[in-house]
Chain A
Amino acid sequence: SQKIEQNSEALNIQEGKTATLTCNYTNYSPAYLQWYRQDPGRGPVFLLLIRENEKEKRKERLKVTFDTTLKQSLFHITASQPADSATYLCALALKAAGNKLTFGGGTRVLVKP
């Protein structure tokens, strides 16, 4: 069966350190992968998109890698700040599924001052 797995345990990290989140998938052939941030009581907010032929994408303090051999994406927040505390979701768009995204369960990040 198809699965998208994110660490369900919260990630506690000290301010200024780098937070690294993992998104693993099985039995998918994604065309691209997206990362979203979600705050309590709000809808997810789009952060980054990385395509199957790209290895790495950066945006400000965020970096995403995509390894289609390992079937894994890593999401890094460098120089983390308390304002980065939120749940982070990865989502896959399959080659045969048009614009439809399938989401993982998300990982909660708590950045402590």
Chain B
Amino acid sequence: GAGVSQTPSNKVTEKGKYVELRCDPISGHTALYWYRQSLGQGPEFLIYFQGTGAADDSGLPNDRFFAVRPEGSVSTLKIQRTERGDSAVYLCASSLGDRGHGYTFGSGTRLTVV
């Protein structure tokens, strides 16, 4: 598609539930990134993929968070046993694989854990 698509745009879930957030990157972009952003703060790195493999997952806060990109295109961020502190906007971005290119971000998924 023309841009990075994230679904759903909003998700409200109860504490303890499992959620999946989806990201559809720009066709041909080999690098895909997940960030989360709290109100008034900059995006915080979670994980990035080069092709199908996670090149750097150092930002995942704990083992409740997991992400996959099985075919090198669409990615899913999975959060188990959600906690209220997980509430944030989850942003996905993609870029051409080599260094020195800007990211194209999606509009994000606003996750609210109640």
Contact = CB atoms under 8 A, between A and B. Distances in A.
Interface residues of A, number: 29
B12 to A, nearest CB: 17
A99 B97 contact: yes
A105 B43 CA distance: 8
A93 B104 contact: no
Contact of A31 (B56, B99, B101): B99
A101 B93 CA distance: 11
A45 B56 contact: no
Contacts of B42: 4, 6, 89, 91, 103-106
Contacts of B95: 99
B106 A43 contact: yes
Interface of A is mostly: strand
Contacts of B108: 42-43
Contacts of A31: 99
B45 interface: yes
Contacts, number: 71
A44 interface: yes
B43 A98 contact: no
A42 B107 contact: yes
B43 A44 contact: yes
A99 B106 contact: no
A28 to B, nearest CB: 14
Contacts of B91: 43-44
Contacts of B103: 34, 36, 44, 46, 101
Interface string A31-43: 1101010000111
Interface of A: 4, 6, 8, 31-32, 34, 36, 41-47, 49, 51, 89, 91, 93, 97-106
Interface of B: 4, 31, 33, 35, 40-45, 48, 50, 55-56, 91, 93, 95, 97, 99-108
